[in-house]
Amino acid sequence: MARAKELTPKVLVVGGGPGGYVAAIRAGQLGLETVLVEKAVLGGACLNRGCIPSKALIHAAGSYAQMRDRFEAPHMGLSLSSAPKLDFAETIAWKDGVVAKLNGGVAALLKRAKVQVVTGAAQFTDAKTCQVETGEGPVQISAEAVILATGSTPVELACLPFGGDVLSSTEALALTEVPKHLVVVGGGYIGLELGMAFCKLGAQVTVVEAGPRILPQYDAELTEPVRRSLIRQGIALHLGAKATGRGADGALLILDTDGSEHSLAADKILVTVGRRPVTEGFGLETMGVAMAGPFIAVDSALRTSMRGVYAIGDVTGEPMLAHRASAQGEVAAEIIAGLKRRFEPIAMPAVCFTDPEIVSVGLSPTEAEAQGHPVLVGQFPFAASGRALSMDATEGFVRLTARRDDHRLLGAQAVGAHVSELSATFVTALEMGAVLEDLASMIFAHPTLSEGFHEAALKALGHAIHI
């Protein structure tokens, strides 16, 4: 048996996703000798199997649907004399090219930060030591500080185990052809984003959601425009329905709240009922860290119960968001380097890339009231926005929630075309402690969707201009 190569860095990062690679880069920038262990491909689920490839597919699907619509119904003086053609293999190749470019960029950034990347699965024997079986032989790594960034993986249903025609989002993004009948189990953001994309590409899509409405993490006012869009696109919704298995013909069997059973034709079944943290398979049980339910327990400095061991990203709990993991990665690296930092964000943006998009930062009116805040709410409809009208995308609104007593902003939400780009404005306002008068006195460029932020503040103060 070959003797293991030994490495003794200051920092060992396990997992090369958006939390891990950012932590490693920041540690390297701070002059800490750093080793990053990644068992598969740099970038993690977000870059390779989630955020980036799904948004690329969503963009391609939207472009194709717009072209098809102009063939079927001329609009704005635009028409096509023949139906557009879809070469789905080329679409997937383009999507993969986007991923490959970003993947190569991550590798280059790590190299520039002098981070050593070890490819293979880490197996810990104690809190600070692991062994990695690489293609060149075993490597033993003993570090002064360890950052666990092992991420999450899709949840599997017992009645619909992954395999064959039952897909997780990973397999859905690797399909070589558009399914004729796609059934999506789970009406959260992952299922709806991909379901809408495949519908635009030509699939007949059905969504099955066990709860009473779609996108339960957002309030009903925000999700209603998305529900209407699903219906317009011809996507069938089965709410309050549970998947129970598959029929002999491959169809999905569902049970409605009234006890009736139905069979839904399905070439492919996409299961998107959540994600679970990856806490098994790398020797976590040998590390002596405390757990908080299924997650690794951490404090505001991202420290676990074991001295010198930190954890970041999905493995530490909700919300499971790439930008949360990246921010935690920076904080953990800087704390290890001796800087005074804490992970205590005021604003954590959440975006749903459906059609229309949803963005939410801070508290909704209902959440604010539940916390005991008397609130002012200002809402501006995109139907009154010059920019939205000029884009022929007037559905949706911007909504602000502020405290009634001092007008301090508590939350900002929007639903509409391209509203994901408003997330930075919302975050900045909340993090800087803006009050409604601050927003009302600012000058926003015209014509832009961001003017809705200004107008919503004016509305909350009782003197809206354009509504």
Is-contact 386 447, C-beta < 8 A? Answer: yes
- pLDDT of amino acid 276: 97
User: What per-residue confidence (pLDDT) applies to 170?
Assistant: 95
Residue 1 CA from chain centroid, whole number: 43
CATH 3.50.50.60 domain residues, the chain: 5-47+93-154+276-336, 166-273
Task: Give residue 4's pLDDT.
Answer: 79
Read off the pTM.
Answer: 0.95
For residue 282, report the phi and psi dihedrals to the nearest 5 degrees.
-130, 10
DSSP calls for 20-69: HHHHHHHHHHTT--EEEEESS-TTHHHHHHSHHHHHHHHHHHHHHHHHHH
- The pLDDT of residue 257 is 83
Collect all residues with Cβ–Cβ distance below 8 Å to 318 and sequence separation of at least 6.
none
- Coil, strand, or helix at residue 301? coil
pLDDT at 329: 98
Predicted confidence at residue 2, as pLDDT, reads 63
Residue (of 339, 338, 314) closest to 328 by Cα position: 314
Taking 70 as the pLDDT cut, the residues of the chain under it are 1-2
What superfamily would CATH give domain 166-273?
Answer: FAD/NAD(P)-binding domain (3.50.50.60)
Residue with tokens 């000029």, as numbered in its chain: 390
Where along the chain do the CATH 3.30.390.30 domains lie?
Answer: 350-461
- Find the catalytic residue in 59, 238, 407, 446: 446
pLDDT at res. 100 = 95
Cβ partners under 8 Å of residue 287, min gap 6: 124, 126, 127, 304, 306, 309
Residue 24, classified by CB atoms within 10 Å of its CB into exposed (0-12), middle (13-18) or buried (19+), is: buried
DSSP assignment of 367-380: HHHHTT--EEEEEE
CA angle 109, 283, 313 (to 5 degrees): 45
59 noted as active-site residue: no
- Looking at the DSSP bridge assignments, the partners of residue 185 are 208, 271
CB-CB contact of 449 with 385 (8 Å): yes
pLDDT of residue 259: 86
**Four-residue CA torsion sign, 281, 285, 287, 290:** positive
CATH topology of domain 350-461: Enolase-like; domain 1 (3.30.390)
> CATH number of the domain at 5-47+93-154+276-336, please?
3.50.50.60
